[in-house]
Amino acid sequence: MNTSEEKGRRTFLGWVTGVIAAVIGATVGIPLVGYTILPALKRREPEWTDVGPVDSLPFGIPKEMACIHTIADGWHKTTTKKSLWAVKDKTGAVMVYSPICTHLGCGYRWESEQQKFHCPCHHSFFSVDGKVLSGPAPRPLDTLPTKIKNGRLLVIYKEFKAGSAAKIEL
């Protein structure tokens, strides 16, 4: 065999080896990247939380409810207990409010005698439908996404920027 044939064979074998290595690398590497890196790059996705039966809500009277808030953040799932305010109107429609005052982020309560929500920090008052009645709050109470499924109230817990006239999700 002359040297040019040997050189051609070596080049061909080198090329075949390179293709096989690339195929093996892709076969192993692509699923590995998908399995390890992509979940970490995913946006934090809040989940629907079951906060209880809709029948437990009285008509027209806000009720404070507990919400187990779970966020999937890549590999990690974090769970925290939050509260929220739910109001069922006469038609059976349910409105759910974030428990955080839109002024500077304090917690507020329903004052049944006054029929208003009251934030004690700087005395903002809100109506049962979340509108600002008085005080420094720059916007109505923040509503949360809700749906009713099989008689259960489901909520996505979210938080919004305090002190802003616009409702900006954090």
Alpha-helix residue ranges (DSSP H) falling in 37-135: 38-41
By CB under 6 A, tell whether 136 contacts ligand FES.
yes
Tell me the window of 6-14, 15-23, 37-45, 130-138 that interacts with ligand FES (CB under 6 A).
130-138
Binding mask 34-73 for ligand FES (x = CB under 6 A): ----------------------------------------
Letter string b/e over residues 128-166, b meaning 16 or more CB atoms within 10 A of that residue's CB? bebebeebebebebbebebeeeeeebbbbbebbebeeee
Cβ distance to ligand FES smaller for residue 117 or 157: 117
By CB under 6 A, tell whether 140 contacts ligand FES.
no
Question: CA dist 138 to 51, 52, 115, 167, 170, Å?
Answer: 28, 31, 20, 10, 17
CB of 135 to ligand FES, least distance (A): 5
CB 10 within 8 A of CB 18: no
Binding mask 82-101 for ligand FES (x = CB under 6 A): -------------------x
Give which of 103, 86, 7 is closest to 49, Cα–Cα.
Answer: 86
By CB under 6 A, tell whether 119 contacts ligand FES.
yes
Strands (E), the chain: 45-46, 49-53, 63-73, 76-88, 94-97, 109-111, 116-119, 124-126, 132-134, 146-149, 152-155
Q: Of the candidates 71, 95, 106, 128, which one interacts with ligand FES according to CB under 6 A?
A: 106
In one-letter notation, the amino acid at residue 17 is T
Q: Of the candidates 49, 98, 124, 146, which one interacts with ligand FES according to CB under 6 A?
A: 124
By CB under 6 A, tell whether 139 contacts ligand FES.
no
Q: Of the candidates 72, 121, 128, 156, which one interacts with ligand FES according to CB under 6 A?
A: 121
Interacting residue ranges for ligand FES, rule: CB under 6 A: 101, 103-106, 119, 121-122, 124, 135-137
